[in-house]
Amino acid sequence: MNGKRRSGGKATLIVIKREESVASAHHGGAWKVAYADFITAMMAFFLLMWLLNATTEAQRRGIADYFSPTASLGRAASGSGLPLGGRTPYEQGSLVSDRGVMSVVPAHAVAPPDSDDEDSDTSVQDLPQNREHNSGLESGTASGNAVIAGPQSGTRAPGGGPAADSVADPQSQAQTAKMLRAELQREERAAFEQAAEQIRTAVRADPQLAELGRQLAIDMTPEGLRIQIMDEERQPMFATGSAVLQDRARMLLQKVGPVLAKLPEPISISGHTDAAPYRGTDKSNWELSAERANATRRLLIDAGLQETRIRSVTGNADRDPLLPADPLAAANRRIAIVVLRSAPKP
């Protein structure tokens, strides 16, 4: 607004300025985007560090395979003459290799056609026997030979020839299996012999059981390690006609139980009697032998043997005498504990 005033006869110019207040200009949000990208990158970095520390090698391989690129022709088998010539773009590399377990398949004797014969319409892979194995055989393989065929067949060495993979020999596989069985049997026998020696040592070390050493028989049988505790004249294990163990027989079984508890194999227990029959009662040697075997089972479990390892408890009466020539001999009255073999037989 301009105005003029007169002062002393002179005109005075008065200028009035009015300024309107305007908000400061916006600085923009580009820095926020950059900051968010930085925070996201840091979170991804720490997540990667955590995954590397918290996962196993196999899990990391699985994660790498999950994020590997895929293609429609990359993972499918393609035999000779098909797309990619029997190869895939991802057959190289430890994390994305498509090679599976190699297998041995017989090859058929088919001579490849002459490449110079332009009139021939039949190729080797079109023959029936090669169509059957078009993903696993190299054409022109000699009859009776074997080739290595995996998930991706037709693989050739860098020089152009077949890959030099060793063929699994069935004879060598059988020999390896035989050696493995023999080793398992050797280790099992060594464990049985060690257990037998521990039982003998424990009995000899106890003065109260020293006299029972003659009534203890330990031997190896086709079934396994057999431990027999036999009666002797005037020194029976059980009271006559009873399944109640005598004190020394009980102490002897208490020495056997902890040793058997250290072995993993199953156990069978059988009771045996002599040929002397019961008189005037309904009970027979069958019931008596079964009751004595069951009493032995209970005592071994009390001594530390796992109940689940008991395979069988049987009473054989007088049907399997130790001394067949003398069916009334005291040695026929016995308990047989067999640690059954678990190693495969040859």
Q: Would the pLDDT of 9 be above 50? A: yes
> Is 237 a member of any domain?
yes
Entry pTM? 0.50
Residue-wise pLDDT for 241-299, tens only, equals 888 988 888 888 988 999 999 999 999 999 999 998 877 677 899 999 999 999 999 99
Average pLDDT, the chain: 74
> Is 131 a member of any domain?
no
107: confidence class by pLDDT, cuts 50, 70, 90: low
> Is 99 a member of any domain?
no
Please give the tally of structural domains in the chain: 1
Residues 6+ apart with CB under 8 A from 195: 225, 259, 260, 262, 263, 339
For residue 253, the enclosing domain spans: 181-340
> Is 321 a member of any domain?
yes
For residue 192, the domain's CATH number is 3.30.1330.60
Q: Is the dihedral of CA 219, 221, 225, 227 positive or negative?
A: negative
Mean pLDDT within 335-340: 95
State the Cα–Cα distance between residues 165 and 23, nearest whole angstrom: 80
> Is 293 a member of any domain?
yes
> Is 68 a member of any domain?
no
Contact predicate 338/330, CB 8 Å: no
> Is 308 a member of any domain?
yes
The more confidently predicted of residues 53 and 124 is 53
> Is 105 a member of any domain?
no
